[in-house]
């Protein structure tokens, strides 16, 4: 078996570890305040109600009574009627977040969506800063990489997906929490691999906790973390057979036992919730029941013909999230409009271009891909478990590329696999000291540029209103929609009257 000697020794670097941890905490607090400011801009207070903002309050109220439906007024047209009751398809975690409101008697009336979203995205920042700190302290000469680490830290706090999720919508709350658990998962994974060279019993247990929580927040995120954990276990089995080591199977699986119990327990809880909602433990979203179908019957037709997941949508979804050529118009129609109307139940008429909104992330993924075949580039980072985790995390990316709807928030399913690849790429760059390390210069520049582009893309959604599919795709032009989004954003921050 591999040595358990730590690969990252806090005492071997010139920086006091406690001081850096405090800096991470302070940065997270500042980021939380900023995120809350952005989310509350234009509102009377952070508790001002938003559409369907009391959905999770109602969900918790009913769950405390042993029921799993919600009040019809709380969920609106996003509800699902069944057996005379209205149900919500959202995972239960966001409802559990509201438990502190119960003893205060505020559960029926206080909307804490903004606070919950800001808190979730701050957890993302904290996890990413801890990951950055881990990689920074693993560098042979951390002092030479201070500028790069600082730029990446600024990009983490004020750029990336977390900034682009700063919209006051109930959809973004479970998405933000799911991304938080994914970010924590990646940090815990890399921490175990860099400090001891393998994933220990406690590491597996914590990874399982994050996977279970992600499943309770957003099923696709949970599927990704469950798949990654399973892939890590399979990689260990394969490594034993490949090296023909005589390791007792019980000793190998002993490190998994706690994790398997946690994973199984979390899956059983969610299966029970599904059964109480839909009468089937394996159904998470019965699309045909949604009240929204009454406003757009075409949705059912699309589901009947092409299904919820279909490979034919992969190239269309890929260009939507990475290279939105659909923005261009020809003969009065958007490019590819015919295919979107025929194959999709819904699409947001706002641009998503990950290479522009997250340039440092894409650069680091590309750097990792270029270096991944070189064993020397990995230095002390074990390659097999990282590759296994990447393969597992790909599951949510595949699901979103097959899906019958495209929206800005859905790209969150693409980020966990890209985040892990990007951290591996940054690790390789930090290990390469010297004046010719141009990659670190690119990372620094793109991290700062990403702050600007992430805020620009976030601005596009500050005035967004999501109506029927046909209305969005027959809008006068993309420029028209984005212009009014920018105007709405300026008004929210008091920079424009009217």
Supply the pLDDT for residue 197: 87
Please measure the distance between the N-terminal and C-terminal CA atoms of the chain and give it in whole angstroms.
68
Residue 382 has pLDDT above 60, yes or no: yes
For residue 70, give the DSSP letter: B
Taking residues 130-140, what's their average pLDDT?
Answer: 93
More confident residue, 277 or 466: 277
Supply the pLDDT for residue 30: 97
Taking residues 187-194, what's their average pLDDT?
Answer: 96
Supply the pLDDT for residue 35: 96
Supply the pLDDT for residue 198: 87
Residue 44 has pLDDT above 70, yes or no: yes
Pair of tokens at residue 460:
């596009």
Please provide the size of the chain in residues.
Answer: 498
**Residues 204-217: pLDDT tens digits?**
999 999 999 999 99
Taking residues 362-390, what's their average pLDDT?
Answer: 92
Supply the pLDDT for residue 309: 94
Supply the pLDDT for residue 288: 87
Report residue 185's pLDDT band, with 50, 70 and 90 as the boundaries: very high
Most confident of 177-191, 427-441, 444-458: 177-191
Predicted TM-score (pTM) of this structure: 0.91
How many other C-beta atoms can be found within 10 angstroms of the C-beta atom of residue 245?
Answer: 10
* Phi/psi of residue 81, nearest 5 degrees: -75, 135
Report residue 465's pLDDT band, with 50, 70 and 90 as the boundaries: very low
Calculate the average pLDDT of the chain.
Answer: 87
Report residue 145's pLDDT band, with 50, 70 and 90 as the boundaries: confident
Supply the pLDDT for residue 295: 82
DSSP notation for 261-309: HHHHHHHHHHHHHHHHHHS-TT-S--GGG-GGGGT-THHHHHHHHH-SB
Side-chain-facing half-sphere of 143: CA atoms under 13 Å? 5
In whole angstroms, what is the distance from residue 18 CA to residue 23 CA?
9
For residue 328, give the DSSP letter: S
Supply the pLDDT for residue 4: 40
Residue 260 has pLDDT above 60, yes or no: yes
Interhelix angle 383-402/172-196, nearest 10 degrees:
160
Angstrom CA distances, 184 to 48, 110, 329, 449, stand at 30, 29, 41, 25
Taking residues 81-89, what's their average pLDDT?
Answer: 94
Residue 24 has pLDDT above 60, yes or no: yes
């Amino acid at each position: 078996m591999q040595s358990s000697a730590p690969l990252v020794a806090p005492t071997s670097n010139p920086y006091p570890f406690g001081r850096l941890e405090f800096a991470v905490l302070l940065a997270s607090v500042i980021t939380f305040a900023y995120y809350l400011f952005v989310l509350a801009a234009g509102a009377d207070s952070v508790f001002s109600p938003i559409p369907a903002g009391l959905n999770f309050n109602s969900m918790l109220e009913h769950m405390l009574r042993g029921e799993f439906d919600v009040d019809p007024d709380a969920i609106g047209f996003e509800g699902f009627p069944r057996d005379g009751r209205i149900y919500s398809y959202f995972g239960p975690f966001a409802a559990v977040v509201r438990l502190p409101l119960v003893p205060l008697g505020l559960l029926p009336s206080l909307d804490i969506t903004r606070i919950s979203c800001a808190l979730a995205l701050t957890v993302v920042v904290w996890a990413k800063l801890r990951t950055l700190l881990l990689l920074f302290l693993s560098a042979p000469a951390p002092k030479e990489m201070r500028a790069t680490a600082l730029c990446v830290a600024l990009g983490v706090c004020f750029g990336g997906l977390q900034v682009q999720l700063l919209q006051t919508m109930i959809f973004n709350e479970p998405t933000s929490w799911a991304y938080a658990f994914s970010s924590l998962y990646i940090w815990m994974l890399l921490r175990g691999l860099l400090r001891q060279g393998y994933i220990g019993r406690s590491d597996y247990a914590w990874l399982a906790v994050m996977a279970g929580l992600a499943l309770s927040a957003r099923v696709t995120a949970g599927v990704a973390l469950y798949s990654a954990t399973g892939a890590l276990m399979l990689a260990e089995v394969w490594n034993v057979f490949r090296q023909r080591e005589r390791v007792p199977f019980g000793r190998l699986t002993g490190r998994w036992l706690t994790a398997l119990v946690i994973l199984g327990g979390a899956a059983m809880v969610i299966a029970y919730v599904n059964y109480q909602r839909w009468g089937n433990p394996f159904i998470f979203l019965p699309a045909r029941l949604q009240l929204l179908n009454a406003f757009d019957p075409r949705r059912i037709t699309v589901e009947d013909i092409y299904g919820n997941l279909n490979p034919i949508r992969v190239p269309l979804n890929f260009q939507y999230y990475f290279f939105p050529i659909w923005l261009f118009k020809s003969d009065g129609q958007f490019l590819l409009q015919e295919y979107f109307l025929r194959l999709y139940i819904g699409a947001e008429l706002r641009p998503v271009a990950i290479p522009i909104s997250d340039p440092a992330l894409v650069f680091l993924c590309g750097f990792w891909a270029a270096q991944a075949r070189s064993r020397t580039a990995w230095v002390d980072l074990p390659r097999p478990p990282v590759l296994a985790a990447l393969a597992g995390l790909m599951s949510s990316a595949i699901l979103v590329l097959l899906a019958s709807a495209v929206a800005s928030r859905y790209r969150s399913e693409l980020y966990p696999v890209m985040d892990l690849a990007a951290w591996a790429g940054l690790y390789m760059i930090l290990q390469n000291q010297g004046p010719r390390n141009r990659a670190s210069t690119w990372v620094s520049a793109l991290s700062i540029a990403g702050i600007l582009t992430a805020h620009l893309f976030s601005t596009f959604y500050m005035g967004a209103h999501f109506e029927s599919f046909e209305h969005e795709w027959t809008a006068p032009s993309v420029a028209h929609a984005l212009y009014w989004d920018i105007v709405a954003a300026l008004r929210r921050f008091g920079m424009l009257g009217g």
